[in-house]
Chain A
């Protein structure tokens, strides 16, 4: 079955450490997105990528980095520069066409202490 896989489901890190969240899709989608969810807020876009080797900053990119070396993979690194990294992170993908919906992974809950 096609889908998006995010791993791990829960992640714990000490403050000051970088951490990388995995997102893999086998839907052959062109576009991939990383969102962050905090209590009482909507999904906020961190980074997105429309094609391999290209990505754009979203509204809250500071303290994050991404790569898109393969179509299937869009890992997100939360760096020590991110001031409030504890959050729920969702990865999504879609075909870059007029009426294609987003497909989401199950998310990663990151806790930094």
Chain B
């Protein structure tokens, strides 16, 4: 079983704060790294699909970076809003096989 780790496990921030979390994955046989947002009572939704070392993706106030050589990705949220409260999941796909390996997620709570 392949190990994908996310930190921190949970985070509480004040509205307006910027925050970031980490996803660590094996640096060998890299194919893709996905980020998903999972709000309570909804299904996970894709934020980013990252495939190249050095990739930077941005969607509104959320951005992500990727370092495949050292095996990590950062997700940044600028000026957190209460609607950003969710669990953020990363999923690693390697070049061999068709499985996605998920981290345990980071639970973000933005306090108004």
Kindly report which residue of chain A lies nearest to residue B47, judged by CB atoms.
A101
> Does A90 contact B43, Cβ atoms closer than 8 Å?
yes
- DSSP class of A's interface residues: helix, strand, loop or mixed? loop
**Chain B nearest CB, measured from A92 CB (Å):** 8
Kindly report which residue of chain B lies nearest to residue A106, judged by CB atoms.
B43
Number of interface residues of A (CB under 8 A): 27
Binary contact readout B75-93 vs A (1 if CB under 8 angstroms, 0 otherwise): 0000000000000010100
> Does B34 contact A106, Cβ atoms closer than 8 Å?
no
Residues of A64-106 whose CB lies within 8 A of B: 90, 96, 98-106
**Residues of B with C-beta under 8 A to A11:** none
Binary contact readout A18-60 vs B (1 if CB under 8 angstroms, 0 otherwise): 0000000000000101010000111111001010000010110
**Residues of B with C-beta under 8 A to A43:** 89, 91, 102
Residues of B43-83 whose CB lies within 8 A of A: 43-46, 49, 51
> Does A50 contact B44, Cβ atoms closer than 8 Å?
no
> Does A102 contact B104, Cβ atoms closer than 8 Å?
no
Kindly report which residue of chain A lies nearest to residue B5, judged by CB atoms.
A42
Instruction: Please report B residues at the A interface, Cβ cutoff 8 Å.
Output: 1, 4, 32, 34, 36, 42-46, 49, 51, 89, 91, 98-105
